[in-house]
Each structure stands twice: as structure tokens, then as C-alpha cells.
Amino acid sequence: MTEEIYNDYRPYNDNEVPAAVQRIAQDALFPEIAKFLFPEVDANSFLENFKQIKNIDDFQAKIMYPVIRKVTDLTVKLLSHSGVEQLNNRKKYMFISNHRDIALDAFFLNMILFENGIKTSEITFGSNLMQPQIVVDIGKINKMFKIIRGGTAREIFINSLNVSKYMRYTITQKSESAWIAQRNGRTKDGNDKTEIAVLKMFAMSSKKPFAENLAELNITPVAVSYEYEPCDFLKTRELYISRRQKYEKSPMEDLNSILHGIKQCKGNTHFTICPTITGEELESCEKLPRSEQFKALAEIIDRRIYAGYKLLKTNYIAHDFLHNQSEFSNMYTPEDRKRFIEYMSCGLSIIDGDKDELQAAFLEIYANPVKNGKAIHFGSTTTRPPSSVVCSSSEFSLD
């Protein structure tokens, strides 16, 4: 790709970090951000230490890691993971993840990689979030690369091609891993499904045959499981409105969702780094008619994510409550069920709309992973299924 296009998409290089650090330090928003993130630290000493950051690794170790570690300690009962042992720093990966939180899916993954001695991944940064300048600077120092949202059909094609070229360059030449969500936008109904368009975008940057083309990227699915879904009531409200009319986001809605997801109690949280898609699997897809190849690959990724998803008691409670049954009652206690129903009632009580429909939409967020897990368990090969509200931590127990 041309240098001009590359520069438009990429994160900062190390030699650009000092200037960005100075811009951040001089921004009027910086003291407020610093106080919010590090309230226990003297503001002046923090500012002086911040100005000494010289490169990306320095920023991630001294700023991002402590921030995400603090978010974890305050809002997650237990952050567990599996599959990290299969990774090594000699290889680079295209992590493709189910998408439940705008920021934390990728940030938690990078923290897990960091704590296990694996080089952190570059991650996508929606152009809709790239404002003001301080946000751009912080994102680009944090190894975030641009994904342009919207546009005409031609603009979408060109932007997809450029992102594809950039990610292939990142993995095969720059020797960095990349993270991207399996779909455009977060899963709102708990039904994780890989968008075929995302996989086609991967392939746009090479003219090699299907299997050889995609094998270069080391596609590695990641399954993210939250006991309490970030922004669950906001998602319920959006689902409810979307079933009646086109949903229009308010100007600050994405930022509100980011902050809401960060602050919300998430209970137990698990990341499964699934096995990398093999050359043999890609070759089996390549043998199919061209119209079926990407669909078959999407189904392999979906099965990996469904199998890697760690079902938690909220999932089982929601599934049983939604279907008026007790199929999974051995996976939770009556007290667990009572707390979850109280949590649900608290959040839904301040959302306008038909309460039965709102309740069903909310429960599906938690119940659909159980449905998808059952499809895997029984060997299904067709697993592709058809205002801020926070209850305080005292209103439900993380036990």
C-alpha cells in the first residue's frame, strides 16, 4: 500500500510518541482524565512522569496496563483465560473476536497477552470515535488503527481494501498481531455470528488462492464471556426500538457506552483464545464452490467461538427463565436466580416500552450463548442462527 494510505490508518510509530505525549499533556481535558483514572496520584507528579513517556511499550506498561488492571480489579470478580499457551512471539495472529464491549474486549485481551509475556496486538479504532484530538493521540499511542465507518458503496469498498492491506502488512511485514471484531458493531442480542463481509475483507489484499491467501494471516478466534453483559440494558433498549424503527444514535452515545461498559460490574469474565484456523481447514473450504467458501470459514470460526464461550450462571438462569423450564437448574442456586431476576427488574423498570417484550429481549442476550453451545454439543453443522442504566453493585451480588 502507498505510504500516504498506510499513514492514514496506522497507529503512531515510536518516534511520534513524544510529540503526541506533549499534546496530550497540554490538552485541557488531560487533568480531568488523569484525575478520573488515577485519583490517588498527585496531579503534578503524574503530569511530569507522563511527559517522560518515550515510546509505545512505555505507554502501554505505565499507563494502559495499570488502567485496565484497575478496571478489572474494580468491576470484575474473576478474569480468567485459556488458550494463551498456544501463542508465541515468533508468530503474529489475526485475532477475530465476538464483540460485547466497544473497548474492553480488546483491552482485556491485550492485558492478558501482556501479563503472559506475549506482545500486545494492534486493535481497531472506529473513525466515529476518533475525536477530539486527545482521543486520537491516546488511541494511536495504544496501537489502535483506523476503521472508517459509513460512506457510499464505493467508499466502503475502498476503505475495506485499505484496511485489508494494512492488516496484512501489519501481520506479514510489520510483525504485529491485529485484533478485529467478528462483525460491524457489538452483538446486541447475545447471538455471536461472524459476518462473511469481514472475512471477505481479509482476503481483498491478496490475489493468492483462498487457502494460501488466508493462511498468511493466522486467523485465531477469541471467545469473550461476561457474567454481566456490558451495557445490557442499553442494548435491550436499542433492540426494542430497532424492532419498530431505524435506530439513530445520539451524538455522544458511543462514548457513553464506553464509559458505561468500563464502570459496570461484570462479574466473572473469561477469554478463550481458540485454536488458530489450520491450513487443512482452509483447504477444505477452498474445495467448495466459490460462493460457499467464506460461509464455510465463518461457520468454522463460529463453532470455535461457541465452543470456547464459557457459559456462566446468568446464561443458564436466563435460558431457563426465558423458556419457563429448569433444564439447567443444577448450574445455579435459587438465590442466584432471585438475584438475577431482581437485577433484571431493576434495569428494565426505567426503560419505556412493553415490559414483556423488553424482558424477552434482555433474557435473549444471556440465553443465546446457551442455545449456540447446545448446537455445538449436539454436533450441528449449521450453527448460524437466524440512556445509561446501571444498578449499583449493592443491588446484586457478585458471589
**Is residue 49 one of the residues assigned to a domain?**
no
Instruction: Tell me whether residue 240 is in a domain.
Output: no
107 within a domain of the structure (yes/no):
yes
User: Do 177 and 131 share a structural domain?
Assistant: yes
Claim to verify: residue 107 and residue 226 sit in the same structural domain: yes
User: In sequence order, what are the residues at sequence separation of 6 or more whose Cβ sits closer than 8 angstroms to the Cβ of residue 239?
Assistant: 188, 189, 361
366 lies in which domain range?
A: 314-381
Same domain assignment for residues 114 and 159: yes
Is it the case that residue 280 has pLDDT exceeding 50? yes
Q: Do residues 223 and 347 share a domain?
A: no
Determine what percent of the chain is predicted with pLDDT higher than 70: 94
Q: Do 92 and 142 share a domain, yes or no?
A: yes
**Are both 323 and 304 inside the same structural domain?**
no
Sorting pLDDT into bands at 50, 70 and 90, what band is 379?
low
Looking at the structure, do residues 173 and 276 belong to the same domain, yes or no? Answer: yes
| Predicted pLDDT of residue 383 | 38
Tell me: pLDDT of 213 over 90: yes
* Helix spans in the chain (H): 3-9, 17-26, 30-37, 43-50, 56-59, 65-75, 104-115, 133-141, 153-172, 196-203, 210-215, 232-242, 253-263, 279-286, 290-308, 313-322, 334-348, 355-377
The pLDDT of residue 386 is 33
Mean pLDDT confidence for 346-357? 97
Assigned domain for 354 exists: yes
Cell matching residue 374: 447446545
Alpha carbon distance 62, 46 (integer Å): 11
Q: Reply yes or no on whether the pLDDT at 251 is more than 70.
A: yes
The verdict on 287 and 347 lying in the same domain is no
**pLDDT band at residue 1 under the 50/70/90 scheme:** low
Q: What is the mean pLDDT of residues 370-381?
A: 76
User: What is the per-residue pLDDT for 381?
Assistant: 38
Which three cell numbers, joined as nine digits, stand for 24? 496530550
| Average pLDDT of the residues of the chain | 92
- Is the same domain home to 223 and 109? yes
Mean pLDDT along residues 252-271: 93
Q: Are residues 197 and 341 in the same domain?
A: no
**Is residue 298, in this structure, part of any structural domain at all?**
yes
| 359: pLDDT strictly greater than 90 | yes
96: left (phi over 0), alpha (psi -120 to 50) or beta: beta
Q: Is 70 among the domain residues?
A: no
The per-residue pLDDT for 131 is 83
- Residue 150 confidence (pLDDT): 82
Same domain, 8 and 141: yes
Segment 40-59, tens digit of pLDDT: 889 888 999 999 999 999 99
Give yes or no: residues 376 and 300 share one domain. no
Kindly report, residue by residue over 79-125, the tens digit of the pLDDT.
Answer: 999 999 999 999 999 999 999 999 999 999 999 999 999 999 999 98
H or E element at residue 178 = strand 178-181
Query: Does residue 34 sit within a domain?
Result: no
Q: How many domains does the chain have?
A: 2
For residue 165, give the CATH number of its domain. Answer: 3.40.1130.10
Least confident of 192-201, 251-260, 339-348: 251-260
Q: Is the pLDDT of residue 374 over 70?
A: yes
Residue 242 lies in a domain: no
Is the pTM for the entire model greater than 0.75?
Answer: yes
Tell me the sheet residues that pair with 223. 272
Q: Which of 84-98, 148-162, 208-222, 276-290 has the lowest mean pLDDT?
A: 148-162
Task: Please report the pLDDT score of residue 250 as a whole number.
Answer: 87
